[in-house]
Each structure stands twice: as C-alpha cells, then as structure tokens.
C-alpha cells in the first residue's frame, strides 16, 4: 500500500491508518546525505531569491507550491478570516483539549477555545487582524458557524487515528523555516500530527525515553478535497521543513496524507529523491515570485530533479507536476 491511494469506497479505520503511519521502516535519508542536498538547495535558493526587492519576503507553503507546480500564475488574493480559514486553527486546539481530557467532546472543546480567544481580544492581548479580534467582532450566529466548521475538522482528525498507538504525538506541529543563506524565503510545512516509530516493549522507563528520543519521526497531514497531481510534493514540503529545522535535526521516514472528504490516503516514504524533487519545486516557486517572472507562465520542466537531469541522456525529462513513482510504488499501484 506504500505510495498508493486507498480506494474511495473503503474508508480506512483508525487502526489501519495508524498502522500505515507507524509501520517500522529503515531510514532512507541520513543526516550526512541530506547535508549535501541541503547545501546545494541553499545555494540555488539564494540565487533564485537574489532578484527579490529588499525587504520583500516570499512564503512557500503547500498552497503556493501547488500553484507554482501546476502553472497557476494568478496573483494571490488577500487573506481574510472566514469560518473555513479559521476552522483548522481552532480545530487543532479542540483536538489537543480532547486528547488531554477524554470526557471532553469536540463541541465543548470548540466552545471553550472560541470563548478563550474572545477573552484574549477583550483583554487587548490580540493584535490587529488576528483570529481573536475577528471572532470578537462576530455575532453569536457567526461564531456558531465557525464553531461548527472547527468541530467538523477536529472530529475528522480525532477519528482518523488510533491515538493510543502513537508515541508522544504532537498535534499541530507546523514548521516555519527561514534559512540564513536566503532570509527572504519562508518555508512553511503543514503538519497535523508528528510522532515517532519506537520499538515495542522497552525494558524499563529509562530505556523508553532513550528509545523515543532516537526513534525516527513520521508525519500525518489531513488535506481537503482529493489528492491532486502535486500531493506528493506538498507532503514532501512538510518533511523538508522538519529536516531543515536545526532545533530537532531529524529527517522523517514517512509522510501520510489523509483526505477525509473522499476517503483516500497517500503514504509517501521520505527519501533523497522526494527531498530533491521538493527542493527543486521550492526553488521554482521562489523564481516565479520574482518581479521579472511573475507574469510569465513557468515551464513544466522547472522542477525536474537533479537525478533526472543527470539521467536526461537516457530518459526523457519528467513534468514537474508528475509524481515521483518508485519501483515499489508502481508495483503496489
């Protein structure tokens, strides 16, 4: 099942999806191997961001990456809070509260989170344009709509996994990374859950802590709609931001994407090929954001990996929005 989409008619139960997330696997990309890739990536990213105006910062997240790879050159519309855009921020807090208190239901947690945010705005601890300020300005009916959206999102995440089988899960562990070599580029990886794959039945408590600290990490992302041709690259961005974060410094072994609306999952092993492909997609996204390139549609070959370029004599170049398919994935599909 690795690397394939599950049939939309067979909604995976929490146990099976958790099994896919936490299945043991060998580390595909060591820190030393990733270090060389990182140096090449930073050099290319610095060159790509060289023509950005001083003081301007480019944000590269899953949304911008998807638009760049698919050739969508429409200018971004200004962000504004709506029940849809607010549901994840509130939903993450709901999930954390429900996991901390088993007697708490998502509607109760949603009500408490919204009330706490409104109190924050009333105490003037909010900032202009913040979620707290926006919620404080809504009528009771508007807040009810926001709560309903957040509760639906939180329920989908709570029921997607068997939380008792996860080792010290971190909910809502999004990563924002700014590299010193290219400080005008902000990389943002969306991560709903981060956990680790540990060996079963450790001998004692001290060994449990030691095993957990050294265990490889795995990531879980809950997406909207259905998987797109850029899904693997979007999931790769989450893994890349974790690998680039020097505070933790480990390369995840797997990212699992889950689309609850259509009942599909995508299991993506994190190897050098995926990280390389994602790095090239990020560089192309930054190039397309530069003033001289913003009105020009980008060539689909802009994010072909280095490995593909080295093999271009023997193989035709792959389109940037075409997922990388390994031998194991092709056989599984």
Per-residue pLDDT of the chain (333 residues; tens, 9 = 90+): 445 444 443 445 788 999 999 998 887 887 888 999 999 999 999 999 988 888 888 999 999 999 888 877 555 678 899 999 999 999 999 999 999 999 999 999 999 999 999 998 877 665 778 999 999 999 999 999 999 999 999 999 999 999 999 999 999 989 999 998 889 999 999 999 999 998 665 555 555 454 556 788 999 999 999 999 999 999 999 999 999 988 766 899 999 999 999 989 999 999 999 999 999 999 999 998 887 665 444 444 444 445 544 444 334 344 344 333 333 333 333
SS3 60: strand
Q: Is residue 237 located within the same domain as residue 316?
A: yes
Sheet holding 217-222, edge to edge: 167-171, 193-196, 217-222, 254-259, 264-269
SS3 169: strand
Give the model's pLDDT for residue 292.
67
SS3 77: coil
Rounded Cα distance between 187 and 283, Å, is 11
Give the model's pLDDT for residue 299.
42
What token pair was written down for 154?
């939180």
Boundary of a domain, candidates 92, 124, 158: 158
Rounded Cα distance between 223 and 124, Å, is 34
Q: Is residue 137 located within the same domain as residue 200?
A: no
Contact 69, 303 (CB under 8 A): yes
Which pTM does this prediction carry? 0.80
Give the model's pLDDT for residue 203.
53
Residue 26 inside a domain? The answer is yes
Contact 195, 22 (CB under 8 A): yes
- As beta bridge partners, residue 94 has none
Structural domain harbouring 40: 14-74+163-332
Boundary of a domain, candidates 158, 184, 208: 158
Residue with the two structure tokens 């060998």: 26
Q: Is residue 168 located within the same domain as residue 24?
A: yes
């Amino acid at each position: 099942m690795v690397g394939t989409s599950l049939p939309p008619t067979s909604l995976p139960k929490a146990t099976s999806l958790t099994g896919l997330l936490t299945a043991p696997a060998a580390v595909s990309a060591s820190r030393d191997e990733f270090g060389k890739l990182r140096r090449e990536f930073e050099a290319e990213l610095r060159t790509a961001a060289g023509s950005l105006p001083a003081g301007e910062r480019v944000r590269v997240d899953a949304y911008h990456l998807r638009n760049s790879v698919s050739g969508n050159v429409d200018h971004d519309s200004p962000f504004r809070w709506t029940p849809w855009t607010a549901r994840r921020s509130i939903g993450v807090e709901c999930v954390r509260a429900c996991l901390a208190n088993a007697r708490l239901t998502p509607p109760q947690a949603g009500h408490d989170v919204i009330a706490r945010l409104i109190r924050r705005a009333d105490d003037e601890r909010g900032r202009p344009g913040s979620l707290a300020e926006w919620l404080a300005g809504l009528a009771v009916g508007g807040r009810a709509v926001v709560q309903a959206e957040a509760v639906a999102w939180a329920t989908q995440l709570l029921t997607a996994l068997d939380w008792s089988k996860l080792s010290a899960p971190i909910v809502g562990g999004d990563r924002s990374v700014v590299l010193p070599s290219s400080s005008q580029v902000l990389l943002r990886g969306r991560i709903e859950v981060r956990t680790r794959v540990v060996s079963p039945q450790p001998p004692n408590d001290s060994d449990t802590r030691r095993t957990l600290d050294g265990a490889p990490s795995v990531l879980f992302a809950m997406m909207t709609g259905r998987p797109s041709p850029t899904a693997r690259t979007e999931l790769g961005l989450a893994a890349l931001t974790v690998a680039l974060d020097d505070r933790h410094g480990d390369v995840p072994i797997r990212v699992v994407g889950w689309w609850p609306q259509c009942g599909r999952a995508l299991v993506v092993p994190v190897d050098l090929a995926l990280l390389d492909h994602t790095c090239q997609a990020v560089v192309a996204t930054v190039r397309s954001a530069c003033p001289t390139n913003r009105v020009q549609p980008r060539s689909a070959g802009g994010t072909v990996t280095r490995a593909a370029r080295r093999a271009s004599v023997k193989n035709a170049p792959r389109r940037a929005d075409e997922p990388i398919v390994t031998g194991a994935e092709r056989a599984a599909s």
